A and B are shown apart, each in its own frame.
Chain A
Amino acid sequence: MLRIDKVTVSGDNGSGEKVEILDNVSASFDSGKMYAITGPNGGGKTSLAKLIMGIYRPSSGRILMDDRDITDSNITDRAMMGIGYAFQNPVRFRGLRVRDLLNIAAGQEMGGTRTSHRENMERFLRVVGLCPRDYAEREADGRLSGGELKRLEIAMMLARDPRIAIYDEPEAGVDLWTFERLLEVITNRQKNKKDGITIVITHNERFLKASDEILLMSDGRIQQQGDADEIWPMIRDDVACRWRASCGGELDEAECYR
């Protein structure tokens, strides 16, 4: 179980003013479940993912993993504890090949060439629709498209096989065929990992519906958390409410999230 307990993360709004990126956030994630986090842009979803991965440090509050306080642990420690994070915007590496990154993700030597490692690496690439023959030796730099890098992110997650897997908008920038594949890969992995926790930050209805629970975030706060069947209709109404407001109408907070 992963628990976020009254966590606040402070940051800069870009104009030198201090703002609460996450504001007194509490949430819990049970083993064996898949969670979707959704909400308007800038609402704090990616910040919550980065907090769990140890990239952001809280100014107050605690993070507990199986009742162990991991608030002060760094990114590497969190990775070794079994937390993984597939970035929203994949990082490009000049000089590092696809094969190197998958070896590192699997905890192997970067240049490792053992047959078992190679076979695993090729399997992960195939699962996300990247042909090993075409991709394994390519540099993970600007010569790969955004969609290809996104698939590599997911392949690295599979190679790492963490207990808590966080995917940040896996649907962004991928084609329809890849999306269907990634949805299947992510949901199947969770089904086969009984003690695993999958957290998907998403704006996609299919991911929302495939999840056990949905967390709705905005303004750095969790506005709702509950069963997907309950929360999804609220979100649908909320989207309509906010859309009307953005087109000149008044935002009725009472109507939104009702």
Chain B
Amino acid sequence: MKLNAIDERLLETIADLHGVPQGAYNIRKNGDLLSRLSTQNIEIVSKDGKPGIDVLVRPGTKNESVHIPVLLTASGMTDLVYNTFDVGEGSDVLIVAGCGIHNPGSGAAEHDGIHEFIIRRGARVRYVEKHYGEGEGTGERILNPKTIVTLEDGAYAELELVQIRGVDSSRRITEARVGRGAKLVISERLLTHGRQVADSIISVALEAPEASAEVLARSVAQDSSRQVFRASLTGATKCRGHVACDSIIMDSAEIRSLPELIATSPEAELTHEAAIGKISGEQVIKLMSLGLTEKQAIDTIITGFLR
């Protein structure tokens, strides 16, 4: 596998990778497969008739990981992929995705990834997806991920969805159905700056008894960027759901935070909390009194908040 300095930097940023990952992996660059490795328990195969892969995790697979980062380093290109993850019963795996864009030209560079997860009975998945944009070109860096999750009975999934910085436009759609006794935790972190726009739309259906979900979103909007966050929980039975969205707004940015709870059963326990506020001057002063400059203090507060 040949990686240049830009590729290496992007991989490190979006997937904490220094070279070839351990375990199964599939690295895609500019619409083509760069490198792939399946293991005994995790098989990666190309889809027939459309771009993307199927990741098949054997039942009972424990403590294994699969990395599927995407690199986009060409201008004027839209990369569309459909990936399906079938995680077998009783498995416990880490899936690291993410997309890094380096746009060197004036055309837009866009990645639209559609990820579908079927998490079988009793399986546990931690899914990490980080997005990052950079590049000396003037072309836009666009990311439109869609994540569809089905949690079978007793399954557990933790989705860590992060937009680090440098993405001009993003529209993230996350849809989930949570089965009996299953639990979903969505942790979203979002930073926008400049004139960037970001929409995140999450809808979770708690349709089976004892299903539960937590959506924990934190975001920072700097400069004149705009964010819209919509999270909808639907409880149709004895279930529990909670949405917490907490945002820091700076400069002339705009944030809309719209948590929505829909209950169609008196047994559903759904709660939400939302807060938007600026960085507290007291926090900045405290950190300055510990020796940080004002800029370092603000950066530290944002880094901690979005961690």
A233 interfacial by beta-carbon distance below 8 Å: no
CA distance A84 to B287 in the complex (A): 11
Q: Contact between A76 and B294 (Cβ–Cβ < 8 Å)? A: yes
Question: Are A91 and B290 CB-contacts (below 8 A) given A96-B301, A104-B300, A110-B303?
Answer: no
The 0/1 profile, CB within 8 Å of B marked 1, for residues 59-83 of chain A is 0000000000000001110111000
Q: Contact between B283 and A93 (Cβ–Cβ < 8 Å)? A: yes
Question: Are A104 and B290 CB-contacts (below 8 A) given A91-B283, A110-B300?
Answer: yes
- Binding site of B, secondary structure by majority: helix, strand, loop or mixed? helix
Q: List, in ascending order, chain A residues with CB within 8 A of B292's CB.
A: 76, 104
8 Å CB contact of A94 from B246, B282, B287: B246
Q: Contact between A87 and B286 (Cβ–Cβ < 8 Å)? A: yes
Q: Contact between B282 and A91 (Cβ–Cβ < 8 Å)? A: yes
The 0/1 profile, CB within 8 Å of B marked 1, for residues 73-109 of chain A is 0111011100011010001011111001100110100
B306 interfacial by beta-carbon distance below 8 Å: yes
CB distance from A72 to the nearest CB of B (A): 15
Interface contacts (Cβ under 8 Å), in number, total: 61
Q: Contact between A91 and B280 (Cβ–Cβ < 8 Å)? A: yes
Q: Contact between B288 and A95 (Cβ–Cβ < 8 Å)? A: no
Chain B residue at minimal CB-CB distance from A102: B290
CA distance A110 to B285 in the complex (A): 17
Q: Contact between A79 and B280 (Cβ–Cβ < 8 Å)? A: no
A160 interfacial by beta-carbon distance below 8 Å: yes
Q: Contact between B286 and A76 (Cβ–Cβ < 8 Å)? A: no
CA distance A76 to B292 in the complex (A): 6
B289 interfacial by beta-carbon distance below 8 Å: yes
Q: Contact between A96 and B300 (Cβ–Cβ < 8 Å)? A: yes
CA distance A26 to B263 in the complex (A): 65
Q: Contact between A76 and B282 (Cβ–Cβ < 8 Å)? A: no
CB distance from B236 to the nearest CB of A (A): 32
CA distance A254 to B307 in the complex (A): 59
Q: List, in ascending order, chain A residues with CB within 8 A of B288's CB.
A: 74-76, 79
A197 interfacial by beta-carbon distance below 8 Å: no
CA distance A152 to B21 in the complex (A): 40
Q: List, in ascending order, chain A residues with CB within 8 A of B111's CB.
A: none
A55 interfacial by beta-carbon distance below 8 Å: yes
CA distance A96 to B287 in the complex (A): 11
A34 interfacial by beta-carbon distance below 8 Å: no
Q: Contact between A84 and B301 (Cβ–Cβ < 8 Å)? A: no
Q: List, in ascending order, chain B residues with CB within 8 A of A75's CB.
A: 285, 288-289
Q: Number of B interface residues, CB 8 Å?
A: 22
Q: Contact between A96 and B304 (Cβ–Cβ < 8 Å)? A: yes
Docked complex: A205-238 residues within 8 A CB-CB of B: none
Looking at A75, A101, A160, the one whose CB has the most chain B CB atoms below 10 A away is A75
Q: Contact between A94 and B289 (Cβ–Cβ < 8 Å)? A: no
CB distance from A81 to the nearest CB of B (A): 10
Q: Contact between B304 and A76 (Cβ–Cβ < 8 Å)? A: no
B266 interfacial by beta-carbon distance below 8 Å: no
CB distance from A31 to the nearest CB of B (A): 21
Q: Contact between B304 and A95 (Cβ–Cβ < 8 Å)? A: yes
Q: List, in ascending order, chain A residues with CB within 8 A of B280's CB.
A: 91
Chain B residue at minimal CB-CB distance from A153: B286
B291 interfacial by beta-carbon distance below 8 Å: yes
B22 interfacial by beta-carbon distance below 8 Å: no
Q: Contact between A95 and B218 (Cβ–Cβ < 8 Å)? A: yes
Q: Contact between A95 and B306 (Cβ–Cβ < 8 Å)? A: yes
CB distance from A253 to the nearest CB of B (A): 36
CA distance A75 to B288 in the complex (A): 6
8 Å CB contact of B291 from A91, A110, A160: A160
CA distance A91 to B297 in the complex (A): 13
Docked complex: B256-307 residues within 8 A CB-CB of A: 280, 282-283, 285-294, 300-301, 303-307
Question: Are A79 and B304 CB-contacts (below 8 A) given A91-B282, A95-B218?
Answer: no
Q: List, in ascending order, chain A residues with CB within 8 A of B303's CB.
A: 95, 110
Q: List, in ascending order, chain B residues with CB within 8 A of A97's CB.
A: 304
CB distance from A165 to the nearest CB of B (A): 12
Q: Contact between B290 and A110 (Cβ–Cβ < 8 Å)? A: no
5 tightest A-B CB contacts, nearest first? A95-B304, A95-B305, A96-B304, A75-B288, A79-B291
A interface vs B, CB < 8 Å?
53, 55, 74-76, 78-80, 84-85, 87, 91, 93-97, 100-101, 104-105, 107, 110, 156, 160
| Residue contacts A-B, CB under 8 angstroms, 10 given | A80-B291, A84-B289, A87-B282, A94-B246, A95-B218, A95-B301, A96-B301, A97-B304, A104-B292, A110-B304
Known pairs A74-B288, A110-B300 / 11 extra A-B pairs, C-beta < 8 Å: A75-B288, A76-B288, A79-B291, A87-B282, A91-B283, A95-B218, A95-B303, A95-B304, A95-B307, A104-B291, A104-B292
